[in-house]
Structure 1
Amino acid sequence: MVIVSPIFHSTGFALWGVGTALGNKTVVMRRSDPEKTLAALAEHKAEVLVAVPTMLHRMLALGPDVIKKYDTSALRIIVIAGSALSPALSEAVQDTFGDVLYNLYGSTEVAVASVAQPKELRLAPGTVGRPPVTSRLALFDDEGRRISGTNVRGRLFVRNGAPFEGYTDGRNKEIIDGYMSTGDMARFDEHGLLHIDGRDDDMIVSGGENVYPLEVENLLAEHPDIDDVAVIGVDDDEFGKRLRAFIVAAQDANPSPEDIKAHVKANLARYKVPRDVVFVDELPRNPTGKLVRRQLPAGPL
């Protein structure tokens, strides 16, 4: 087992504990390095890799010529958690390493809420799958009413045997009928698989229309000239809010703002097209790979 997720992160710590309890050989890395991770997998003939999506993205960015130098044929499981898995990355990982990807979704507050298996990620790339044993999921609207139906978005709540007891300042998460809020918006597709559409407080209201940044980000992540992307809402005199996209261009690529806007316009509703496109060298992320949106400039350009 090779663990490149931070051990202070619940996934890294939990799987290190499981590996230790089972007497597995576990390789941990002080710092994440994509090629050193491949080398560790090959050297130790590791069957399990524990990582976050950003680390997998950087491994794939090494390119096929570098990746094929290392024998990863022993790899049977790649476990990821900690941040959103885009459909494009989901497909790219399994095309490169085989159908071995498991996408865990949960939080410190609600523990593990759902898990997507490799076949489910092939069926619906980017899904977080289904709840494991003892976990129950429910969607509620803003009035606390239960939501059902296919691809109907609602606030995701979880009920299981390992919820937290509250924050140290005395606050707690909202609880409805024993289900605890995750703070995420989600939907179930026609296969009964769960999809996370973003944080409920990330929603942008532009000209009276609701936009979830993750939908636009996932679309732009599929663009061959884009290496990384983030979308936020910024103040706008006419629409209240407008979308601003921050783009990290792929190596040797030189997309224009018009290219970015045209790609969104061709695939999504017009009101989801970013009016601002800003090119940056990198995006602010925390140690587990989560995008830190508050560090992106929202003022005048």
Structure 2
Amino acid sequence: MITPFVVATLTRRGLLTPGSPVRVASQLKQLWRWGFSLAGELRQAAARDPNRVAVIDDRRGPVTYAELLHRSEQLARSLRSAAGIGSGDRIGLLCRNHAGMVEAMVAGTLLGADTVLINTGLSSAQLSVVAVEQRLRLLIHDAEFADRVVEVPAQVERIEESRAEELTAGAPPGELRPPERDGRTIVLTSGTTGTPKGARRRTPGGFGPLVSIIHRIPLHARDRIMIAAPLFHTWGYAALQVSFALRATVVLERRFEPNSLLGAVTRHNCRALFAVPVMLQRLLEVPPPAKNPLRIVAVSGSALPGGLSTRFMDAYGEVLYNLYGSTEASWVSIATPANLRIAPQTAGKPPHGTKVSILDEKGEPVPRGQVGRIFAGNEMIFEGYTSGASRETLDGLISTGDLGFVNGDGLLFVAGRDDDMIVSGGENVFPSEVENLLADLPQVREVAVVGVPDPEFGQRLAAYVALHQGEALDADAVREYVKRYRARFCVPRDVYFVPFLPRNATGKVVTRDLPRPR
């Protein structure tokens, strides 16, 4: 339903400006026929702004909305003709951020196929398991992953990016109609503790999800947006959906490198950047551009460590927006620059249309300031895992798997994963609390704190610390620092100095790859 709030937000963000009656009519027709899927959003953008640049990638250059739609339709017709792909089939995409990946995503949607977005950090063995568990008919992959797909079962057809280009160029004629069944985008969970699970994402049913985001994060129609977050990640995919809805120009680079990204941001005059938190840390290691066009830096995917938000805004201005959510719950809350200045660790407040409750083990609300389990609900809660499993729900709200609390000002704070909390000598300890404390040390580049077994106390903390180049710190200094600001049971007995933390392609620390105490 289009409410006054929706109309006001769309107007404020420049989406209801006057235009050619013919193009506006065509735009609305495309949304009516194709809905708010990725294909529908691309079609409405191409109908309204066909000559506007849709995507600029670091190899192909600029592609207009009309060209992007044409190429996506060409690829869809070829996949239907050459591989028999149709409604209900599953296509895997193992690609970095580039226009070809976007075309493949749209092509799958045009055919009603489910598109499985595959983490580029998966090993050959993990990729093989994913191909079987997700019942892939087809796998489209970048050339650099040719050696990684060799273990994929033979019944899964593999198409390298050069072959995808040939299929796009040589597509047979034919009409594409809205599929009988809307294809689903399947996002894989992070897989930091094992084989990732496939989560089925809903197709938006209207303007509500878009308005929830752009009301809190002030993106505008026809902005230029750098998407550095991987497109296979929930946040990168959401950024692409929002960008198409806004008829924005998306800038993509295959790999994240701070200087290259800042150069592209400046060269293309990008107003907004979508990233994951670890990218902010890397950006702070190089000088910011002399003339910074960024007015919005929107991050999601993991917690902002220590005082990262404050340090980043000191360097780039009041531009940082932090979205807390999950693959299963979509967005839960959004922190604005004003929120982060007041409380750098906050996850912000729920946006329009989202409800958040902090519940105890019995499912009852806890008082403000008390830690409990975070449950959230909105119209974009996932449809379940492809295995048939789901997440715990209570009164229409889904568990995020995190613990947190809401303070007196209504700001949400995430204490950590409910399965990360440890009990040491009878005391509840949140590793993230110690992690954030150590991250504020000037010598520390990055840090991870985890619980490990202890024969006397049940569990204890272990800290893994990577230092900035040329800095020095010893284990006793780390323990003394924690002892000064936290309780005795928060002091990590084990302190390891490592050159870097093992991370997956979305920047999350892969705890299973950390060295374990003897």
- Pairing partner for 1:53 from 277, 281, 287: 277
Structure 1: which 4+ aligned runs deviate by more than 4 Å? Answer: none
Matches within 5 A, 1:1-301: 1-62=225-286, 66-68=287-289, 70-72=290-292, 74-149=293-368, 151-300=369-518
Q: How much has 1:299 moved relative to structure 2?
A: 3.9
Q: How much has 1:14 moved relative to structure 2?
A: 1.6
Check whether the contact 2:494–2:517 (CA below 8 A) recurs between aligned residues: no
TM-score (norm 1): 0.95
Whole-Å separation in 1 of the counterparts to 2:339 and 2:410: 10
Larger radius of gyration: 2
Give the structure with the higher percent strand: 1
Check whether the contact 2:306–2:438 (CA below 8 A) recurs between aligned residues: no
Structure 1 counterpart SS, 2:260: helix
Q: How much has 1:71 moved relative to structure 2?
A: 2.1
Check whether the contact 1:6–1:12 (CA below 8 A) recurs between aligned residues: yes
Structure 2 counterpart SS, 1:138: strand
Extract unaligned runs of 5+ from structure 2.
Answer: 1-224
Check whether the contact 1:114–1:132 (CA below 8 A) recurs between aligned residues: yes
Whole-Å separation in 2 of the counterparts to 1:181 and 1:266: 35
Structure 1 counterpart SS, 2:432: helix
Q: How much has 1:249 moved relative to structure 2?
A: 1.0
Q: How much has 1:87 moved relative to structure 2?
A: 3.9
Q: How much has 1:171 moved relative to structure 2?
A: 1.5
Whole-Å separation in 1 of the counterparts to 2:389 and 2:227: 33
* Structure 1 range deviating more: 22-31 or 268-277: 22-31
C-alpha root-mean-square deviation of aligned residues, in Å? 1.2
Give the structure with the higher percent helix: 2
Check whether the contact 1:248–1:282 (CA below 8 A) recurs between aligned residues: yes
Whole-Å separation in 2 of the counterparts to 1:239 and 1:292: 25
How many pairs are equivalent?
Answer: 294
Q: How much has 1:242 moved relative to structure 2?
A: 1.3
Whole-Å separation in 1 of the counterparts to 2:387 and 2:264: 42
Name the aligned partner's letter for residue 67 of structure 1: P
Name the aligned partner's letter for residue 233 of structure 2: H
Q: How much has 1:195 moved relative to structure 2?
A: 0.7
Whole-Å separation in 1 of the counterparts to 2:310 and 2:294: 17
Whole-Å separation in 2 of the counterparts to 1:17 and 1:142: 36
Structure 2 counterpart SS, 1:115: strand
Q: How much has 1:21 moved relative to structure 2?
A: 3.0
Extract unaligned runs of 5+ from structure 1.
Answer: none
* Structure 1 range deviating more: 14-23 or 227-236: 14-23
